[in-house]
Structure 1
Amino acid sequence: MSPSNSRVTTPGAPVAERAHTEVAVGILIREDGALLLSSRPEGKPYAGYWEFPGGKLEAGETVEQALRRELDEELGVTIGPAEVWKVTEHDYPHALVRLHWCKVYQWTGDFEMREGQRMAWQQFPLTVTPVLPGAFPVLDWLASERGFEGAVLAQASQG
């Protein structure tokens, strides 16, 4: 899977023929700038790949409501404010996903890996691989914000 399967979209953009799965994604950022990534649990597509936590929106949920629910269910934390920062799409073999990326700076609770996944706080350059391909554009933007250019995609895709 190459990063070219990802693209940036704008809310309200026309829907392609294939139905999208709407996903809320949390970019949890610690005070020192570290980013939380977690591994995909066994039994899910791309098991073992690293990703930002989150999950599918349920009927009638806003992005923020879905993110709150998912991070409580998966990680055992309650997040503070979460507004959509970027929206991207990625075409995986198993699903066409529209990813609603939210930067989150506040949360309460102790992290519990409730789905058997692992977690890692990461700075650039990342030390966990491989990273889920749908995260590549966001990793590039986050790296650019921090003054890291270039090798983020190549490094994240190793595995």
Structure 2
Amino acid sequence: MLALDPVAARLFLPFAALIGLYVSWTDLRGMRIPNASVILLALVFVILGPFVLPLDTYGMRLLHLVVMLLAGMAATAARMMGAGDAKFIAAAAPFFALSDISAVMMLLAACMLAAFATHRAAKHSPLRRLAPDWESWDRGREFPMGTALSTTLTLYLALAAFG
């Protein structure tokens, strides 16, 4: 059982899922996660969070955003990840309960494997013709992590809401 309150998860889920779909599409299409989508995701938490979380929990979750933004900046500077991925991780961080970190890491690992395998399989199949100009097809070893990251957030909220 996840620590995130099911009521909070049900409120956050539709917004996070829609933003996540957009992030996945833009990352697959152009290997970019738009700043507007990251800001919108953060605003969903900032605006709705106080209505469904205790204020002390809400404040600590906002701290998650700051800590992950700083960590993401360091990882981007070290060329470990793209800036869009780092910003998305920071914007998504407040939605996760810290006590769920083990479950979140397992979910992220599964989403990364599934997204990578699906992307690579589609890249070398006739499905590629449906979107022949997607930049992610031709980026060599680079991978559009926005797909795995947004899927992790959406699945986590869905599991907390209905699991």
**Length-normalised TM-score, structure 2:** 0.27
Higher helix share: 2
Q: Choose 1 or 2 for highest CA Rg.
A: 2
Structure with the bigger RCO (C-alpha within 8 Å, sep 6+) is 2
Q: Which is strand-richer, 1 or 2?
A: 1
Structure 1 length as normaliser, TM-score? 0.28
